Amino acid sequence: MTKGRLEAFSDGVLAIIITIMVLELKVPEGDDWQSLQPLIPKFLAYIFSFLYIGIYWNNHHHLFQAAKKINGGVLWANLHLLFWLSLMPFATEWIGETHFAKNPVTVYGFGLIMCAIAYTIMENLILKNENENSRLKNAIHSKFKEYISIAFYILGIAASFFYPYVAIGLYYVVAVIWLIPDKRIEKSLKED
């Protein structure tokens, strides 16, 4: 099964998710600088989510580039990932609108952890299809990044009940961990 259309469809959905978030930055009534002030938390939330979607696109890109073959299960695992990612604009707007209030930050963290779980499921399904000598399999055998991320999300969600900004900080740490595209895969691709 060719992976071209899965990539094209995912690119389309991710491009739309990343762009509709900007629709939440409603233009102010006036033309003075003060009128931009209420937009600041929304803008910060936008930057944060843009970064996250960018990371997912980047890693998705690396993963499927290295994948040799996909099957029906991977198609559905990918749709499952896109489902959780599609809720990011909602969560982003809620944290922006409420100035990073507790409950919205909890919901945002829940969204992030579900995306991470969905991504890990998809990765596992792809790895299962690879044969024994697969470079991809050797490249991401450790899964350290996946597990540490989920641990940080759990910590973040717990923190969100008391200190939402600490939660945002923890979510941000995960972003930094993933910011550098999967060197493991990049290296293995070069060896080809």
Which residues here bind its own copies, judged by CB under 8 A? 1-2, 5-9, 11-20, 22-23, 25, 27-28, 30-33, 36, 47, 50, 54, 57-58, 61, 65, 71-72, 75-76, 79, 82-83, 86-87, 89-90, 93-94, 97-98, 101-104, 107, 179-181, 186, 189
SS3 letters across 28-45: CCCCCHHHHHHHHHHHHH
Packing angle, helices 164-179 and 144-160, rounded to 10 = 170
Closest CB to its own copies among residues 59, 134: 59
User: CA 53 to CA 103: how far, in whole Å?
Assistant: 22
CB of 103 to its own copies, least distance (A): 5
* Conformational region of residue 61, where left means phi above 0, alpha means psi within -120 to 50, and beta covers everything else: alpha
CB of 63 to its own copies, least distance (A): 11
Closest CB to its own copies among residues 151, 176: 176
CB 118 within 8 A of CB 150: no
Give the residue among 184, 190, 86 at the shortest CA–CA distance from 143. Answer: 184
Closest CB to its own copies among residues 22, 151: 22
CB of 60 to its own copies, least distance (A): 9
Tokens read off for 73: 């299960």
CB 42 within 8 A of CB 24: yes
Closest CB to its own copies among residues 86, 134: 86
CB of 116 to its own copies, least distance (A): 19
CB of 51 to its own copies, least distance (A): 9
User: CA 159 to CA 87: how far, in whole Å?
Assistant: 21
Closest CB to its own copies among residues 84, 152: 84
